[in-house]
Every structure is written in C-alpha cells, then in structure tokens.
C-alpha cells in the first residue's frame, strides 16, 4: 500500500497548470488573450507529452493503493489524448480568432481539464475513479460546447448532451453501485475475483448497466441519439476534441474493464459486443448516407467506426487490444484531420459545414482539396492510408477467431460508408463553384497538414503503429495475467 506519487507526475503537472491558467486568466485583461492562452496551453501540453512519455512504465505499475494503474497501453493512449489536445489548440486558435467569445481563458483551461479527465479515465483501475474521471471529462466538454457568443446551436447541443450524458453517467453509476454491492470492492482485481465466485442476477444486471453506459459514451446503437446533435451543434474544434478524445478514453477504459473483470464472469459478453458493434457499424453508415451537413455525417460515421471497434472486442483479448489500439490511433488522426478541415473552411456564418459549401473547393484551394482526398479516403479505409490498416487489423482479428460473416459485415459497412465519404470529394473536385479563394488560418492548417501526413506516412509504414500496438498489448497482458 503506497501512494507512488511520482508515477502521477504528468497528471499533477497538468492539473496544476490548469489551475495556474485559471489564476492567470483572472489577472490578464480580457482583450487579445487568444494568442497568449493558445501559446501557454500549447506549451503546457508539450511539456505534458514529454512527462507522459517519461512516466509511462512498460511493466504495469500502480499508484494510490491500486486506484490507478499505468501500463504501456495507457501511456500511449494518454499520449494520443495529449496529441489531440495539442492539435485542438492549433485549430482552436484560428477558430477563436474568427468567432468571438468572452471566455477565452475558460475555453483553454477547460480543454486542459477535459484532457486530464480523459487521461485519468484511461489509467483508472477502480470503479469510482473511473466514474469521477469520466465526469471530469464530460462536464468539461458540456461547458466547452456552450462557450461561444450567440451560438445558440452550440448551447442547445450542450444542454442536450448534458441531459442525455447525465442519464448515461447515471446508468454507469448504477451499474458500478450494483457491482460494489455484490463484490464489496471497487478495485478491479478484487471485483474480478469476487465476481468469478458469485454468479448472480444482480451481477448480471450490474454488468449490463455498465456496458450500456459505455455504449452510450462511445455512441453505439441504440445509445447513439446524442451524437449527431452534439457533434453538429458543438463548435467545430470542440467536435474534433470530443470525437477523438472521448472515443479513445472510453474504449481504453472499456478494454481495461472488459477483459480482466467482465469477460471471465460471463463469456458471451463478447458476442453482445459483436452484435451491438455490427448493428452500429451498419446503422451509422446507412444513416450518414442521407446527411447534407458534414459534421452530422461525421457523427454518424463515428457511430459506424465505434461499431467496428466494438466488434473487435468479440475476438480474443490479445487480438482485441491490439486491433482496438491500432484503430483508435488511426481514428484519432482521421477525426482530427476531418474536423480540422471543416473548421478551417468555417469562415463567418457557418460555411464549410454543408456539402454545398465544398462546391469547387479545388479551384479555391487545391491543397485543401487534395488534403481532403487523403482524409476522406483514409476514413473510408482505402489503402495505402492509415484507415485501411485499422480496418484490416480488425478484419484479421475477426477472421482469426472464425468470425467470417461479421468480417464481411464490417466490410459491407465500409462499402456503404464509401457512399458518403465520396460526396465531399465529388463536390470539391467535380462541381464548379464560385471563384473565391479560401485563406486558411495558419495554425489550423498546420494541424490538418500534420494529421494528414500522419495518415499518409503511417499508412505507408504501418509497422510503427503496429509495434506500438504490440508493445501495449504485451504490457497490458502482463498487468492482467
């Protein structure tokens, strides 16, 4: 029993930095804060990235009496979250230059707290910690969505997401409460131990509630209702952040809970995940077909992607961790790039979100149009981009465990999704539009460019991601076995 506080350095740093930023916000006068705060947040995030890289042990280590457990999987996922934060700051700077808010300081430090919540969620090894960190992340995001002046759509989305999100959180909490009531502990290893000797209906219900809560957070069918409104209504950089970070945090937390704790208790949870996953994959793809708004389309596409990731859970633990991490990695960069480019094209009055705004993009800005090819083809899973490999690993995992039909369904979903990923490209290249040049903001452009280059280069050399996934798998298994 020990605190092992040094392991917690990156999180402590981030928390302190966030609080410091609150204080700075009080002192600095309100004008022209955007640049300064973006710079500070960028710096803080960069330091946090270095710290996280340093304090991610390969062999799993516990801190706070086993309340949190760090291994390579959590370390890499946290890096993913922080990297998303870094690029979100770049995109946000431009966005805040264009759309005024009175809450510049609040915007940046809430982003930091949301990331902190996600990081804690990833390393939580105890039910209450998981719940609290989930709420830290979610509430920060509710706030972020409503920060902009006269952005009533954002405020509406925030309220909707808040109400539905609270129901989701309540489901999760109720499940946790049941598990605690049955097992008498909230620590994962002890819950797992107690569950394996106690097969009761209440435990069953508890787990079902927990899984529903997770399905809600990742936006899987039938708990997906909030996603389109939330993604659509939120300011684009917030959609970006939410799309990437919430998925990574929720899925990694689910992995850490699912395989060691829930699965040994009842083996068929895997099939449950598979069914919900396949339905989500198909539903998301079909529903996205009819969307005219790109953010809504991406929301449905995220439902589809979440479904594919879920279906990977139905395979063996080793295959699942490996392919899920790979997918999350690819998905993070695809989401950043896709929302980034929309944010980039969003000039006054919500342009760039609707398909018709993409008309003739190539003649307005050839480089952006070409980047959009990379982004949307990566999302569709066309080789040799990173998105293809993500899908491919899930496919191999499914076939290896003898699930050929689900593998085929996943591919059919990706075929359907092609129907809408091609749409923006059709508008950008094949339809003529007004000849007015788009002048993208530099920092947001850099963010889109970086993530697109990641999609290309890691698509050509996927071994890097593959090795990272293998290492995190090895580390994860070491901690569980």
Partner 1 sequence: MVSLMLVIPLIGALFIALCRSEERAKWIALFTTGLVLVLSVLLLFQFDVSKSSSFQFIDYGHWLPSLSIKYKVGVDGLSLIMVLMTALLTFIAVPSAWNYIDRRKRLFYALLLLLETAMLGVFVSLDLLLFYIFWEAMLIPMSLIIGIWGGERRIYSALKFFIYTFAGSIFLLVGMVVLVVFYTSLTGNFTFDLQQLLNLKLPLELQKWLFWAFFIAFAVKVPLFPFHTWLPDAHVEAPTPGSVILAGVLLKMGIYGFLRFSLPLFPDAYKLYAPVIFALGVIAIVYTALIALVQEDVKKIVAYSSVSHMGFVMIGLFSLTVQGIEGAIFQMLSHGLVSGALFFVVGIIYERLHTREVGKMGGLASLAPKLATLGMLFTMANVGLPGTSSFIGEFLTILGGYKASHLVGVLMALGVIFGAAYMLYMYRNVFFLEPKVLSFKDLDRRELLSLGLLALLVIWWGFNPEFIMKFIHGYTHRLLGGV
Tell me the closest approach of the beta carbon of residue 389 to partner 1, in angstroms. 8
Stretch near partner 1 under the rule CB under 8 A, chosen from 85-93, 109-117, 192-200, 422-430: 422-430
Of 306, 379, 303, which Cα lies nearest the Cα of 341?
379
289 counts as binding partner 1 under rule CB under 8 A = no
CB neighbour list of residue 315: distance below 8 Å, 6 or more residues apart: 270, 323, 397, 398, 400, 401, 403
Tell me the C-alpha to C-alpha distance, in Å, between residue 242 and each of 81, 87, 142, 310, 352.
10, 13, 10, 18, 19
Q: Which is nearer to partner 1, 155 or 400 (CB)?
A: 400
Helix spans in 150-265 (H): 152-183, 188-196, 201-218, 226-233, 236-257
Give me the 371-410 binding string for partner 1, x by CB under 8 A, dash otherwise. Answer: --x---x----xxx---x---x--xx--xx---x--xx--
Tell me the closest approach of the beta carbon of residue 381 to partner 1, in angstroms. 9
Total binding residues toward partner 1, as defined by CB under 8 A = 34
CA distance 13 to 52: 10
Stretch near partner 1 under the rule CB under 8 A, chosen from 90-98, 103-111, 279-287, 458-466: 458-466
51 counts as binding partner 1 under rule CB under 8 A = no
Tell me the closest approach of the beta carbon of residue 462 to partner 1, in angstroms. 6
466 counts as binding partner 1 under rule CB under 8 A = yes
Q: Which is nearer to partner 1, 276 or 389 (CB)?
A: 389
Q: Tokens 């902190």: give the residue.
A: 116
* 196 alpha-carbon distance from chain centroid: 31
429 counts as binding partner 1 under rule CB under 8 A = yes
Tell me the closest approach of the beta carbon of residue 404 to partner 1, in angstroms. 6
Asked if 384 and 463 touch (Cβ cutoff 8 Å), the reply is: no
Structure tokens at 386: 């990173």
Stretch near partner 1 under the rule CB under 8 A, chosen from 17-25, 164-172, 221-229, 425-433: 425-433
Tell me the closest approach of the beta carbon of residue 392 to partner 1, in angstroms. 8
Q: Which is nearer to partner 1, 188 or 388 (CB)?
A: 388
Peptide bond into 384 cis (omega under 30): yes
Among 16, 50, 422, 439, binds partner 1 (CB under 8 A): 422
Q: Which is nearer to partner 1, 292 or 463 (CB)?
A: 463
Tell me the closest approach of the beta carbon of residue 383 to partner 1, in angstroms. 4
Q: For the chain, how far is it from start to end, CA to CA, in angstroms?
A: 20
Tell me the closest approach of the beta carbon of residue 466 to partner 1, in angstroms. 4
CA distance 394 to 391: 5
Tell me the C-alpha to C-alpha distance, in Å, between residue 454 and each of 331, 337, 371, 462, 466.
11, 10, 12, 10, 14
316 counts as binding partner 1 under rule CB under 8 A = no
CA distance 256 to 250: 10
Among 431, 433, 438, 480, binds partner 1 (CB under 8 A): 431
Handedness of CA 88, 90, 96, 99 (dihedral sign): negative
Among 462, 474, 475, 479, binds partner 1 (CB under 8 A): 462
Asked if 362 and 433 touch (Cβ cutoff 8 Å), the reply is: no
318 counts as binding partner 1 under rule CB under 8 A = no
Give me the 331-370 binding string for partner 1, x by CB under 8 A, dash otherwise. Answer: -------------------------------x---x----
CB neighbour list of residue 107: distance below 8 Å, 6 or more residues apart: 37, 92, 96, 101, 144, 147
Structure tokens at 212: 């529903």
Q: Tokens 């695809």: give the residue.
A: 334
Tell me the closest approach of the beta carbon of residue 17 to partner 1, in angstroms. 37
For the chain, what percentages of helix, strand and coil (3-state, to nearest 5) are there? 80, 0, 20
> Could you list the residues that contact partner 1 (CB under 8 A)?
362, 366, 373, 377, 382-384, 388, 392, 395-396, 399-400, 404, 407-408, 411-412, 414-415, 418-419, 422, 425-426, 429-431, 461-463, 466-467, 470
């Amino acid at each position: 029993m020990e605190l092992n506080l040094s392991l917690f350095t990156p999180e402590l740093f981030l928390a302190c930095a966030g609080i410091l930023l609150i204080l700075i916000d009080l002192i600095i006068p309100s004008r022209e804060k955007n640049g300064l705060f973006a710079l500070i947040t960028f710096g803080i995030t960069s330091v946090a990235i270095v710290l996280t890289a340093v304090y991610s042990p390969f062999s799993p280590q516990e801190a706070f009496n086993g309340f949190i457990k760090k291994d390579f999987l959590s370390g890499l996922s946290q890096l993913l979250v922080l990297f998303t934060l870094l690029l979100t700051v770049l995109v946000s700077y431009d966005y805040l230059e264009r759309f005024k808010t009175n809450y510049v300081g609040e915007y940046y430090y809430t982003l930091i707290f949301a990331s902190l919540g996600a990081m804690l969620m990833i390393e939580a090894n105890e039910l209450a910690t998981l719940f609290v960190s989930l709420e830290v992340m979610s509430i920060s995001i509710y706030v972020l969505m409503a920060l902009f002046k006269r952005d009533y759509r954002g405020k509406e989305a925030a309220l909707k997401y808040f109400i539905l999100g609270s129901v989701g959180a309540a489901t999760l909490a109720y499940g946790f409460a049941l598990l605690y009531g049955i097992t008498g502990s909230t620590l994962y290893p002890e819950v797992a131990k107690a569950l394996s000797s106690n097969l009761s209906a209440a435990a069953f219900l508890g787990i079902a509630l927990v899984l529903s809560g997770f399905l809600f957070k990742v936006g899987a069918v039938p708990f997906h209702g909030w996603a389109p409104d939330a993604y659509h209504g939120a300011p684009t950089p917030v959609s970006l952040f939410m799309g990437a970070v919430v998925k990574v945090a929720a899925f990694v937390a689910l992995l850490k809970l699912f395989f060691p704790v829930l699965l040994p208790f009842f083996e068929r949870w895997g099939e449950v995940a598979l069914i919900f996953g396949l339905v989500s994959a198909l539903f998301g793809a079909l529903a996205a077909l009819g969307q005219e708004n790109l953010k809504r389309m991406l929301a449905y596409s995220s439902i589809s992607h979440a479904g594919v990731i879920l279906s990977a859970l139905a395979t063996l633990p080793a295959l699942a961790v490996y392919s899920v991490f790979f997918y999350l990695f690819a998905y993070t960069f695809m989401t950043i790039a896709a929302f980034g480019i929309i944010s980039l094209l969003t000039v006054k009055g919500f342009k760039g979100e609707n398909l018709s705004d993409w008309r003739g993009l190539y003649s307005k800005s050839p480089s952006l149009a070409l980047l959009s090819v990379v982004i949307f083809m990566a999302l569709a899973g066309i080789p040799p981009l990173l998105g293809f490999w993500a899908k491919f690993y899930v496919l191999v995992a499914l076939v290896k465990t003898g699930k050929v039909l689900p593998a085929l369904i996943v591919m059919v979903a990706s075929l359907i999704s092609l129907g809408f990923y091609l749409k923006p490209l059709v508008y950008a290249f094949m339809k003529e539009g007004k000849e007015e040049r788009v002048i993208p903001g530099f920092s947001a452009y850099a963010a889109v460019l970086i993530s697109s280059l990641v999609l290309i280069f890691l698509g050509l050399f996927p071994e890097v991601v593959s090795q990272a996934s293998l290492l995190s798998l090895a580390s994860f298994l070491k901690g569980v076995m």
